[in-house]
Amino acid sequence: MCGTEQIGTAIKKARKKSGYTQEALAELLGITPTHIKHIEGGRRLPSVEILFSAATVLHFSIDSLLPAAQKASHTPLSKLEQITEQYSKKELDLLEQIAEVILQNR
């Protein structure tokens, strides 16, 4: 099981990578900046709703929070997630556009 600190660290890393301040992310998630500070500091777990919203807004996979031993790293999708977890938002947007072109030209 992933600990409170690991979840907070992952959210903080994703927030910074996406270029959001704690205040901006809090507004997007409908919570207070203090709540974000507590989550990122490992003092509070996010609710499931907030965790899913954060994953959507910050473009990270919730399974990326699991320890490596718990991941099924042999599927093509999980391999793609591992490759793209270091991508910036701009790079992810470009990758999404490429995927859409591929689907349109099948």
What's the CATH code of the domain at 81?
Answer: 1.10.260.40
The model's pTM: 0.62
pLDDT of residue 1: 42
Total tally of structural domains belonging to the chain: 1
* Domain extent at residue 9: 4-104
Burial of 84 (0-12, 13-18, 19+ CB in 10 A): middle
Contact call for residues 90 and 18 (beta carbons, < 8 A): no
Round to whole Å and give the CA distance between 31 and 37: 11
Residue 32 has phi, psi (to 5 degrees) of -85, 155
Task: Give the residue from 13, 102, 6, 79 showing the smallest Cα distance to 46.
Answer: 6
Show the low-confidence residues of the chain (pLDDT under 50): 1, 69-71
